[in-house]
Amino acid sequence: MKEHLSPTLLIVDDEESNLESLERVFAKEGYHVLLAGGGKDALEMARKRRIDVVLTDLMMPDMDGLDLLRSVKTVSPETEVILMTAYGTVQRAVEAMKEGAYDFVTKPFKKIQIIKGVRRAMEKQVLLLENRNLRSLLETTGDKRIIIGNSFVIRSLLDMLKQVASSEANVLLIGESGTGKELFARQLHQWSQRADRALVPFNCAALPRDLAEAELFGHERGAFTGAHKERPGLFREAALSTLFLDEVAEIDISLQGKLLRVLQEGEVRPVGGSRAINVDVRVVAASKADLETAVEEGRFRDDLYYRLNVITIRIPPLRDRKEDIPLLADFFLRKYAKKNNRQIAGISRRTLTVLGSYHWPGNVRELENVIERAVVLSKGPMIEEEDLPPVLFDEVVESGSLTLPMGISMAEIEKRVLGETLKMTKNNKKMAAHLLGISLRTVYRILERQQAEDEALDKENGA
């Protein structure tokens, strides 16, 4: 059966006049509308094709709305159901919500009320579909890929990583804090000929000189106080694999010569040892600092720099790959929803707009923290703007200039200033309210007044 590209709404009511009236309303909204005169017919339709939203009467002779709700959720759990009734009570509404109803409206209802309810349910369906497509994209990239992202800059970087991975050259990863340098090192290792052995990581800034030396190169028994037994060290542990040296710029200058010898000669001498031991290790180093500056200042050996810097790969900051934010945010959402046992369907469009407008000085690590926080604090089925930390709304938005003629009314000034601010914030009303120093309610009041004035003008012009 051919599927329509527009969202599908199934309206269920045993009164034909109601069906015809609602069909006219929602056809104008651009939905593909299906009609059913009873619950059994509606359920049969739901079995045969995808239905995005069901709008059903509660009281019907063959199958009431609650029974239809339960049956539809069994056949198609993602379909949203809105119930209509003239016999609405709090108890029935609570019962319907517990059974999974999206919304509950009582007759007689205003047309705008039911349009808004269906529109919100449809928006949720669109987000679910987009999230599913994002996950599908992530899951079908294949080829042992662990880096999340589909932007041009990331795809180009991954192509380079794949080419470099097949070689034995040492690699230097340069990137700001939080960009995921270790993850890129793991991706390179995963694509290399050494992938059958685990990558061995070491943070060069984590330990003082003496401990770092023993940790990297190993030590003999009795080499120093507390050395009760021999330790092989990370270079020997990484034999036939990859050693990842994170923040290599922080390694003590007195250890750099010993590290250089390992890279040049392929042998390591343990602390307190009298003989050198051959090792076959590929080194991938990473730094957030500019190593060339460190060399010029005498903090880093130039010969070691050239040994590490056979191939340099620069990891882009998140602000340069913002099109990857929805993929990354969805990945972190699923990760922390599972960890915290939360049922969260996705991230709202307005929330994604805020995430896309932020500068992300902490890069991917900061985004991960923001999504984890939002998952924990969220009170609904979606991550909304109010679940985000205030710092995301404090970002300074570059402002343009607005020229106003003398004698313009205050109402017109409000309208123009709000309009320009909404353009700058990409229609993010909460951010616009914050920038203007007014409440969100005031923003909506101005917009509603503007809409009423526009409608009145249309009537005067015979529109």
CATH 1.10.8.60 at 319-393, yes or no: yes
How far is 300 from 248, CA to CA, in rounded Å?
9
What mean pLDDT comes out for the span 150-169? Answer: 90
The residue count of the chain comes to: 463
Reported in sequence order, the residue ranges of 277-342 that DSSP labels E, i.e. its strands, are: 277-278, 282-287, 311-314
Token pair recorded at residue 330: 């969805």
Domain boundaries, the chain: 8-138, 152-316, 319-393, 410-460
For the domain made up of 410-460, give the CATH fold.
Answer: Arc Repressor Mutant, subunit A (1.10.10)
The pLDDT assigned to 364 comes to 96
pLDDT in tens, 333-358: 999 999 999 988 888 877 888 898 88
Is the model's pLDDT at 47 over the cut of 80? Answer: yes
pLDDT band at 53 (very low <50, low <70, confident <90, very high): very high
Q: Grade residue 143 by pLDDT with cuts at 50, 70 and 90.
A: low
**Res 64: pLDDT:** 86
Distance, in Å, from the CA atom of 188 to the CA atom of 282, rounded to the nearest integer, reads 11
Which CATH code for domain 8-138? 3.40.50.2300
Q: What is the pLDDT of residues 406-452, one digit of tens each?
A: 666 777 788 778 887 787 776 778 777 777 778 888 888 888 887 87
Q: Quick check: 114 pLDDT over 50?
A: yes
- All residues at 6 or more sequence positions from 40 whose CB lies less than 8 Å from its CB, including other chains: 62, 63
Whether residue 32 contacts residue 4, with contact meaning beta carbons closer than 8 Å, is answered with yes
Mean pLDDT in the chain?
84
Answer whether 36's CB lies under 8 Å from 11's CB: yes
Number of alpha carbons in the 13 Å side-chain half-sphere of residue 131: 22
Intrachain domains 8-138 and 152-316 with the same fold: yes
The answer, yes or no, to whether residue 28 has pLDDT greater than 80, is yes
Q: Band the pLDDT of 401: cuts 50, 70, 90.
A: low
Range with lowest mean pLDDT among 33-47, 124-138, 239-253: 124-138
Q: What is the pLDDT of residues 273-332, one digit of tens each?
A: 778 899 999 999 999 988 999 999 999 999 999 999 999 999 999 999 998 999 999 999
E strand spans, 215-358: 242-246, 267-268, 277-278, 282-287, 311-314, 346-347
The DSSP secondary structure of 145-200, one letter per residue, reads: ------SHHHHHHHHHHHHHHTS---EEEE--TTS-HHHHHHHHHHTSTTTTS--E
- Give the tokens for residue 44: 């049969």
Q: Tokens for 248? A: 């290599």
At 396 the pLDDT is 41
pLDDT digit string, tens, across residues 54-71: 999 888 888 888 889 989
Alpha carbons 124 and 344: distance in angstroms, whole number: 12
Cβ atoms of 352 and 182 closer than 8 Å: no
Confidence of residue 3 (pLDDT cuts 50, 70, 90): very low
What is the separation of C-alpha 386 from the centre of its chain, rounded to a whole number of angstroms? Answer: 16
Tokens found for residue 418: 């709000």
Q: Is the pLDDT score of 90 beyond 70? A: no
Residue 398: pLDDT over 80: no
pLDDT band at residue 183, thresholds of 50, 70 and 90? very high
Pick the CATH number of 152-316 from 2.40.170.20, 3.40.50.800, 3.40.50.300, 3.40.50.2000: 3.40.50.300
Q: With contact defined as beta carbons under 8 Å apart, do 85 and 65 qualify?
A: yes
